[in-house]
Amino acid sequence: MGRGLVLLALLVGCTEPAPLGCPDVPASAEPLEIGVRGDSGLFEPLADGDPLLFMLGSQGNPMVFPCLRARGIEPRGPQRDLCVEVGGRAVGFPNAGERVDLPFDGTGNVLWDLRTVLVVEACCANCQTATVVATMRDTRGRLYAGSVDVVLGRGTCPDPVGSCCSAADTCPPPLITNVCSAE
C-alpha cells in the first residue's frame, strides 16, 4: 500500500509539502518598510519587538492591519504579498484585493491598512512573537521586501486574562468562532 501511494504521488506530480512558514526575504530586493497607521494618520514604521495590535473580525478571527512603504517604487498598482508567521507556521495572509495606487506620504509610497486575517484562535496569537514578511513588485519589475518581528496583542502583554494555550504550536486547530473569554 505504501509503495502504491508513493507511485501515485509521483504520477500526479506531487512533491514534498510546502514549508509551513513564510518565505524568506530575497537579499537582492529593495527595502520595504512594514508599519502601521498611527493615531495621527501618519505611517509609523515597526521595529523588531514592537507591538502589532489585532482586533477580532466579525467571525471571531484576529485581524491585523499593517501598512507597507517603499521609496522609489513605481506607485501605480504594484503586486503585493504579505505573510504573518507565529511559532514557525504561516497563519496570516491578506484578503485578496485589487491593485491600488500608492499615495506619497512625504517619505515614500504607502499601501495603507492591508487587512490580514490570522487563521488561529485569538488566544493563541495574543502576546506571541510574530514575523511579518512582505513583498511588493512594481510595474517596472523591481522587487521590494522587508520583514519585522512584532508582538501580537489585543492591548497589553502579558495577557491579563491568561492564554488558552502556552504556545502557538500547542494550540487547538483554528475554529472560526472559538475565541478566549474571561472566566
Is pLDDT at 69 greater than 70 in this prediction? yes
From residue 82, how far is each of 24, 57, 169, 179 by CA, in Å? 11, 18, 21, 24
Residue range 86-99: mean pLDDT, rounded: 84
Report the mean per-residue pLDDT for the chain: 79
Q: Residues 104-142: pLDDT tens digits? A: 999 999 999 999 999 887 777 888 899 999 999 999 999
- What does the pLDDT read at residue 99? 87
183 pLDDT tier (thresholds 50, 70, 90): very low
- What does the pLDDT read at residue 157? 66
Structural domains of the chain ordered from first start = 17-153 (2.60.40.2550)
Q: Residues 12-27: pLDDT tens digits? A: 343 444 457 888 998 9
Please report the sign of the dihedral spanned by the C-alpha atoms of residue 66, residue 68, residue 69, residue 75. negative
Phi, psi (degrees; rounded to nearest 5) at 31: -70, 140
Is pLDDT at 11 greater than 50 in this prediction? no
pTM (2 d.p.): 0.77
Closest by Cα among 25, 15, 49 to 157: 49
- Report yes or no: 116 and 94 within 8 Å, Cβ to Cβ: yes
Pairing of strands 62-64, 33-37: unpaired
Beta-ladder partners of 86 = 89, 130
- What does the pLDDT read at residue 170? 47
